[in-house]
Every structure is written in structure tokens, then in C-alpha cells.
Amino acid sequence: MREVAIIGIGMNKWGELWEKSLRDIAVEAALLCLDDAGTDKIDSIVIGNMSGGLFNGQEHLASLIPDYLGRRYTPSTRVESACASGGLAIRTAFLEVASGMSDYALAIGVEKMNDISGGEATYALASAADRDYEAFHGVTFPGLYAMIARAHMQKYGTTREQLAQVAVKNHYNGSMNPHAQFPYQVTLEQVLTSTLVADPLRLLDCSPITDGAAAVLLTTVENAKKLKNHPLVVISGIGLASDTIALSHREDITKLKVVELAGQRALKMANKTIKDINFAEVHDCFTIAEIAVIEALGIVEHGQGGPATLAGKTALNGDFPVNPSGGLKSKGHPVGATGVAQIVETVSQLRRTSGKRQIKNAKIGLTQNMGGSGGSCVVHILETK
Amino acid sequence: MREVAIIGIGMNKWGELWEKSLRDIAVEAALLCLDDAGTDKIDSIVIGNMSGGLFNGQEHLASLIPDYLGRRYTPSTRVESACASGGLAIRTAFLEVASGMSDYALAIGVEKMNDISGGEATYALASAADRDYEAFHGVTFPGLYAMIARAHMQKYGTTREQLAQVAVKNHYNGSMNPHAQFPYQVTLEQVLTSTLVADPLRLLDCSPITDGAAAVLLTTVENAKKLKNHPLVVISGIGLASDTIALSHREDITKLKVVELAGQRALKMANKTIKDINFAEVHDCFTIAEIAVIEALGIVEHGQGGPATLAGKTALNGDFPVNPSGGLKSKGHPVGATGVAQIVETVSQLRRTSGKRQIKNAKIGLTQNMGGSGGSCVVHILETK
């Protein structure tokens, strides 16, 4: 297997992008990425997108995006694993390069979610759950994560304040991210008194509906070393896992088994332990998700996610910074783009170009991108060399 | 790059499968495949599916299918490139094995298209075209292929009888395929007098709406040689290409550039020319498609697709049999499953297990799977060794 490096990153300003279309934002991120890479070599394109079909009536992005990027005829693939589609695009682009099929593979994550009504968007997102046995009966994603939160509070004594602190921390980080949809700080009080969505989760516990795209260019380490315009960043570990799509089929809904497995697989491939990692970008689609994820990854013990967050362990200046980008909470969550944007942030941190939100001693970073209520997960480990 | 072999194939009876769900048919095909392989080793799963979102309100098949197959925790990917999703699943599973990421990769193609109304299915399929610049204005796939047919008739003198002969040939082949949705013969007269759909295409020029799945198990040639329960079949060439999604952006709509490119790339990788190939499974979503495809692949000269078909060149006992399975026309076209089923048929022919429709001297076969009106294409070359 050939060693793979990341030589280009790009993402646009996320938000409600009424004046731009799905194809516009994908192309914009891709061009920013090529500009950053200083090369426009592309042997293949991998697009991460959750549901162009339901959000935009548009499948076949493997034809549309290369076409509008001015790269018609390029071998192209679209991958999907709900909200983990972006991470999966990175992994699939990695396979292109690692196998020798492509020397340069461009991964683009994109989702345009605001062009339909809120009700339609909720229907589209619920396609990541079990349609026949969950969504059909009326449960939506805030409801599924509320059940995880309630069980976590019951089992470990996790508090509303601890959940809220995830939002406070991530919005603080995001306030320094020019790409973020909501680049402003929130207080604990604001989170705790925001509109109730699905008890115990409130509006500021939830990631938003977002239009956005991100792109990353991969090549062999050998090629990357010739470019020299950025510090070398390599993908040293990848872990992919699936689990039951329905929450009710899990042994213990407070433990994200899929995250644990994907994390272990990635660490094993990178020949690392979690103690070797300096920081992480994780899937905080809801505040409870970040708490359960940092526990499943082994950053903290089970049940310690809430207290550790409140104590500042995962803050930008803490022992183990989590979501320096602002996470899905503040940066936004265009579902298919999120996993790619996590890589963009991690590369930026490893290159030491993250400005005010730069983490000291960022040498090894981890990204964790999750589909549905934990039905799939992709973990990547990135290192400067 | 490691050499890759196919050690298992499976597909169910295709048709209107009212009593089964999306997950049922995917699992059924996968189990048939594992039974055929004589092993149940699976390191990763790749699912080809065009639009679980629009057809079934269900994305996240990378979680759902492993779960219902009894393989939770397995690394899993869903890929999509409209009607070429199945071929893309094979290519992605190939990358898993070729790269060394997986030793055994299971590719499953699946589509359940009958659970929504005809109008909704037409909307779903139109998501493979340019939604903003084609579908929005009312054109559907029979219309797009009718334009190709009309231009082909105008430029080359292709006749209605020649188009109809594609259907006659493929239904003859399909009448011997127990998996086919419409396993019966049709006459030239029946095709020519069937209901007009989009002039000049009639009902029997069009592939049907189908529920179906197919599965293929891939491993290294080294592993395959140890199994010995089937003749060795290897994937020696893969070509993937994209082109403009909108028909109006092509230089010449009678020439499927995307097929030409994918074909050339696959042949180059396999170190073959088209003259080395004994037979092909091609994407006859409409009768005109088969004619344009065999021209683009170089099986016949441009403009000779119609006359060659009428003369029997592509018949089961002709110089170059095309679609021995019955093709999309007779076998059915569950869009995400089609590309995988083409591989199933080709392996069956190479193993000499195709019964009454067995091609003599089947040693090297080609499959060609296409997305939209030619926005994407995957070609595979399979050989017995």
C-alpha cells in the first residue's frame, strides 16, 4: 500500500447560501483546494454527499461536479454514509492513491440543505435512520440523540450544564473560524434557556442546517515531498466501521460502539494509542454526541465526558483540544461536507495556519465523522512528518 | 497493486417484488453470493445503489445492509453514479482488495423501484440528468434517449427495425435466464407496434422499472487459487470515466464519448484490444443505447451498430455476442444492481455455467455500465486464467 499525503485543502464560508447552487459550492471549494495545493493534477474525484436526491432532486454528482469543475472525462465516484459521507470520501480517495489507481485524488464533500423546507429537510435527514422501524414511527434525529442523552444522564449522572458546555466551548472556537456559519460565542445561560427541541436537548445543543462544501487533494508521500509549498501531512491511519442502523438494536445506547471500533482500527493502522494524539475534530451533531464520542475514542473514561468538558480538558488550551474548528455546532453541518471539513481543519492545525485558534504542539490529529445515530463511523489520523 | 479475482456471485429473481423490502433483496443476493463462494469471509462491503433516498426514503445503506446481513461492525461504503452505481461498486470493491485494505470485499448492487408511483419513479430517475437544466424543463430519460436515437437515425440511417432487433435479440437471450424479470421472447412486429413512449422509442425499446439485487465477492488471486471450487476469474481491466451530465453539452450526441474513454482505459489496463474480447454485457437501458455503446466500444464502426445487430453479429451465436443475460431490456434494470448483475452474468459465462444461453469460447468478457444519458461509465474486463 502506497503512503498517502494531503497537499491541498479548501472550503468556502458556510451558511444559508441562497445565491449559490449545489454545483457552485462544490466547485468553489475544489478550486480553493487546488489553489492551496499549487497543482491542478487530478486523476480521480471522490464526492461525499448524503442526499443530493432528497435535498436537491439531484443524484449523479459523479458526473455533475467534474463537469462543472471543468474536468469532464475524469474518473469520478460519489460515496454516501449519511453524515459520515465526507469522511468516507477521504477514505475512498485514499484507496485511489494507496492502490496505485490514481496518483492525485480530489475528495469533495458537499451538501446544499436549505433549498427545501424544514419539514422536508427533517424527512431527508431521517433517511439516515431506519426508515421502516424508526423514522416511519415519527422519531427524528434530535429525538434519537435525546434518548442517548437521557440514558447517559441516567447512567452516569451527566448534567444539563455539562452538555451545554460542549456548545459554549465549540462556539468559542468557532468564533475564530472565518468559515463558520455561526462564528459567535454563546453563554451557558443562553444554551440552557434556548428553545426545547427534544428533551433534554435544546436548540443550542443541536448543529444547524447548512449549505457548504470542502475539498482535499491527496497524492503519494513521494509526490508531496516534491511540492514543498506546505509542511508534509500524511494520513497514517484510517478506521471505518458500521453498526446497527436502529438505536433500539444496540446493547447500550450510551456507548458508541461504532466509534470505538473505528477509532481502534485507525490507531492500530497508525501504530498509535489515543495518548499519542494531540487534538481531535469530532462529530458534535448534538452536544451529547461529543461527550459520547470522546468517551468511545478513549480520550476520557466512560461517564467522564461531561465532567471533563466542564473542567476544560477539551478546550482549545486544554490537555486534549476537541473541535478547534468550532465543530458541527458552530461551523455548521452540511452533512456530506462535514467529514472533509474536519480534515481541512486538521491539516490547517498541523500546518500551524489556524491563526487565533491554533493549537500549540499540534503534530498528530484525529478526525471522527459519524453517520446517523452511530450506524457508521470513519476515523482518520493525520501526522506532520 | 494486488491482482483481484471474483470468487462468488449471486442474484435473486428480478421483477416487481411486492412482498420483499430493499433490505430483504440486498441480503438475499448477498447470501446467494456467499453460498456460491463457499466462504463467508468479508472484510468490507461496498453497496451500489442509485437512490434509496428517492425510491425508499432510505439512505445510509452502508449501515442498514451489513446490519441486516448479520455483519454489523463491518467497514462499509455506498457508492452512486446513477445507473452505473453497480459497476462503480465493483470498482470500489476492487480498490479495497487491490490496495491491501481488505482481503475479501463484498459488492452488492440493489434498487427497489416499485414501492413508489410511476410518476415518483420518473422524478427519481430524472435525478441522474441535470435537474436544473434538463429535468426541470420536463425532459425524462426516454426523451433524452429518443433524442440520441433520432440523431443517430438522421446521421447514419439507423432504422426502426434495427432498434427493434436489439429488443428481439435480448428478449431471446433473456428467455433462457431464470433471473430475468421478463423471460419471454418478443417479435420484431411486437416491438414495432408497442405503445409509443418518446418518438421514435416505443415501450419495448425501454428497459423496465425493476426491484432486484446482485452480489459479487472479490479477493486476491492468491486467495482465489486456494478455493478451487470454481474456475479462476480475474478482473484484468477497469475503466471509469465521466462526461457532461447534460446531453446538450456534448459535441455529438450520437457518440458516447464516456463509453469510448472507459472502454479504452479498461482495455489498456488489461493490455488488450477489443478484438481480444469474446462477448460483452452492455447497458441497453434503451435499444438505441446498445447500438451507440457497441459503436463507442469499437465492437463495430460508428453507424454500423444497427446493421450489425440486424445481421446477427451480436446474437448469442454471432461473432460477438452482446447481452447474453437478456440485458437490461429482458432481465430488468434495478438501476443500482445492474452493473453488479453484468459481472454475475460474465462470471457465469466464463465459468461455463450459463446453461442454454452459454456462449462457446467464452474466455474474456467485457461489462459496460452507464449512468444517465452517458454522464458516467464503468467498464470491466474479466478473464479466466
pLDDT in tens, A13-55: 999 999 999 999 999 999 999 999 999 999 999 999 999 999 9
Band of residue B230 on the pLDDT scale cut at 50, 70, 90: very high
A374: nearest CA partner in chain B: B63
Q: Exactly one of A152, A171, A333, A380 is catalytic; name it.
A: A333
Q: Which of B80, B120, B235, B378 to mutate to test the interface with A (most CBs of A within 10 A)?
A: B80
Which of A60, A73, A238 is opposite residue B371, by nearest beta carbon?
A60
Q: Please answer yes or no on whether A53 and B124 come within 8 Å at the CB atom.
A: yes
Q: What is the DSSP letter of A377?
A: E
The identity of residue B332, as a single letter, is G
DSSP letter (8 states) at residue A118: H
DSSP character for B315?
S
Predicted confidence at residue A385, as pLDDT, reads: 87
A101 and B95 within 8 Å at the Cβ level: the answer is yes
Residue A314 touches chain B, beta carbons under 8 Å = no
Residues 219-238 of A with CB under 8 A from B: 238
In which band, very low, low, confident or very high, does the pLDDT at B206 lie, cut at 50, 70 and 90?
A: very high
Kindly list the catalytic residues of B.
83, 333
Alpha helix ranges (H) inside A232-299: 257-270, 287-296
Q: Quick check: B284 and B323 in contact, CB under 8 A?
A: yes
On the 0-12 / 13-18 / 19+ scale of CB atoms within 10 A, B146 is buried
Neighbour count for residue B193 (Cβ, 10 Å): 13
3-state secondary structure of B281: strand
Burial degree of B363 (CB within 10 A; 0-12, 13-18, 19+)? middle
Q: What is the pLDDT of residues B288-304, one digit of tens each?
A: 999 999 999 999 999 99
Which grid coordinates are listed for A104?
492525485
Confidence band of A228 (pLDDT split at 50, 70, 90): confident
Interchain proximity A127–B50, CB inside 8 Å: no
For chain B, the maximum distance between any two Cα atoms, rounded to a whole number of angstroms, is 56
Instruction: Look at residue A377 in the predicted model and tell me its pLDDT.
Output: 98
Q: Which of B60, B80, B243, B269 to mutate to test the interface with A (most CBs of A within 10 A)?
A: B60
Residue B310 C-alpha, separation from nearest chain A C-alpha, in angstroms: 32
Going by the DSSP 8-state scheme, the letter that residue A126 receives in this structure is: G
* In B186-286, alpha helices (H): 188-192, 221-227, 257-270
Pairing relationship of beta strands B44-48 and B76-80 according to DSSP bridges: parallel
Domains, chain B: 4-117+210-227 (3.40.47.10), 147-208+235-384 (3.40.47.10)
- Predicted pLDDT at B50: 98
Q: Which of A1, A74, A243 sits opposite B73 (nearest CB)?
A: A243
B242–A62 CB contact, under 8 Å:
yes
Cβ contacts of A127 on chain B, cutoff 8 Å:
52-53, 57-60
Q: Which chain B residues have a beta carbon less than 8 Å from that of A245? A: 60, 63-64, 67
Q: Which residues in chain A are closer than 8 Å to B66, comparing Cβ atoms?
A: 242
Q: How far apart are CA A144 and CA A137, in angstroms?
A: 12
Q: Residues near A263 by Cβ (< 8 Å), separated by ≥ 6?
A: A239, A274, A296, A297, A298, A366, A368, A379
Q: Are A210 and A326 in contact (CB under 8 A)?
A: no
pLDDT tens digits, residue range B158-197?
Answer: 999 999 999 999 999 999 999 999 999 999 999 999 999 9
> Identity (one letter) of the amino acid at A277?
I
Omega prior to A183 cis, within 30 of 0:
no
Separation in Å, CA of A325 to nearest CA in chain B: 26
Q: Measuring CA to CA, how many Å separate A164 from each of A195, A303, B268? A: 13, 16, 58
Mean pLDDT of all residues in B205-228: 97
Instruction: Report the residue from B62, B80, B91 with minimal CB separation from A376.
Output: B62
At residue B6, what are phi and psi to the nearest 5 degrees?
-110, 120
B257–chain A Cβ distance below 8 A for any pair: yes
- C-alpha A80/C-alpha B188 separation (Å) is 42
Q: Which of A66, A95, A126 sits opposite B95 (nearest CB)?
A: A95
- Provide the b/e sequence for A280-313 (b: ≥16 CB within 10 Å): bbbbbbbbbbbbbbbbbbbbbebbbbbbbbbeeb
Enter the DSSP assignment of B195. P
Nearest chain A alpha carbon to B376: A63
Query: Residues near A354 by Cβ (< 8 Å), separated by ≥ 6?
Result: A324, A345, A348
List chain A residues with CB under 8 Å of B131: 56-58
Predicted confidence band of residue B385 (pLDDT cuts 50, 70, 90) = confident
Residue A155 has pLDDT above 90, yes or no: yes
Say if the Cβ atoms of B258 and A73 lie within 8 Å.
yes
**Considering Cα of B290, then B294, then B295, then B296, what sign does the dihedral take?**
positive
- Chain B, window 42-71: residues with a beta carbon less than 8 angstroms from a chain A beta carbon: 44-45, 50-54, 56-64, 66-67
- What pLDDT band is residue B357 in, cutting at 50, 70 and 90? very high
- Residues of B with CB below 8 A from A339's CB? none
Beta strands in chain A (DSSP E): 4-11, 44-48, 76-80, 104-112, 196-198, 201-202, 211-220, 233-242, 279-281, 364-371, 376-384
B44 chain-A contacts, CB cut-off 8 A: 240
Per the CB < 8 A criterion, the answer to whether B383 and B234 are in contact is yes
Closest chain B CA to residue A88: B77
Q: pLDDT per residue over A97-107, tens digit each?
A: 999 999 999 99
**If we measure between CA atoms, which residue out of A80, A129, A140 comes closest to residue B57?**
A129
Instruction: Return all residues near B5 (Cβ < 8 A) that are at least 6 apart.
Output: B218, B219, B220, B221, B223, B224, B225, B232, B233, B234, B235
Which of B57, B64, B81 minimises the CB distance to A60? B81
pLDDT for B39 beyond 90: yes
Reference A50, options A106, A138, A123, A157; nearest CA is A123
Min Cα–Cα distance to chain A from B76, Å: 6
By three-state DSSP, how is residue A229 classified? coil
Cell of B107: 459488492
Kindly give the pairing relationship between strand A279-281 and strand A364-371: parallel
C-alpha cell at B320: 460477438
Q: Kindly name the residue from A83, A206, A285, A377 that is annotated as catalytic.
A: A83
A-chain CB neighbours of B67 within 8 Å are: 242-246, 249, 375
Name the DSSP letter for residue A251: S
Q: CB B301: neighbour CB atoms within 10 A?
A: 11
Read off the pLDDT of each residue in B49-59 and give the average, rounded to a whole number: 98
CA distance B130 to B55: 18
Q: What is the CA radius of gyration of chain B?
A: 19
Cell for B147? 433524442
Q: At what angle do helices B287-296 and B141-156 cross, to 10 degrees?
A: 60
pTM of this prediction exceeds 0.90: yes
Structural Rg of chain A based on CA atoms: 19
Q: Which pairs from B267-274 meet CB under 8 Å and 24+ separation?
A: B267/B237, B267/B239, B267/B381, B268/B237, B268/B239, B269/B236, B269/B237, B269/B238, B269/B239, B269/B381, B270/B236, B270/B237, B270/B381, B270/B383, B271/B236, B271/B237, B272/B236, B272/B237, B272/B364, B272/B381, B274/B298, B274/B299, B274/B366
Provide, as residue numbers in chain A, all residues whose Cβ is less than 8 Å from the Cβ of B63: 81-82, 242-245, 371-372, 375-376
B138 touches chain A (CB under 8 A): no
* pLDDT per residue as tens digits for the range A11-24: 999 999 999 999 99
Cβ B242–A72 below 8 Å, yes or no? Answer: yes
Task: Give A348's pLDDT tier (boundaries 50, 70, 90).
Answer: very high
Length of chain B, in residues: 385
State mean pLDDT over B309-315. Answer: 98
Active site residue A83: yes
When pLDDT is averaged across residues A59-86 and rounded to a whole number, the result is 98
Q: How many CB pairs under 8 A join A and B?
A: 223
Contact A96 B95 (CB under 8 A): yes
Interface probe for A, chosen from B27, B45, B64 (most Cβ of A below 10 Å), is B64
Q: Is A325 on the interface with B (CB under 8 A)?
A: no
Nearest by CB to A80, from B78, B100, B258: name it: B78
Compute the distance between CA of residue B45 and CA of residue B248 in angstroms, rounded to an integer.
37
A235 — phi, psi (to 5°)? -90, 110
Longest dimension (CA), chain A: 56
Are the CB atoms for B143 and B198 separated by under 8 Å? yes
Q: Of A163, A161, A173, A167, which is closest to residue A321 (Cα–Cα)? A: A173
Q: Is residue B42 classed as helix, strand or coil in its secondary structure?
A: coil
**Nearest-CA neighbor of B275 among B293, B259, B263, B261?**
B263
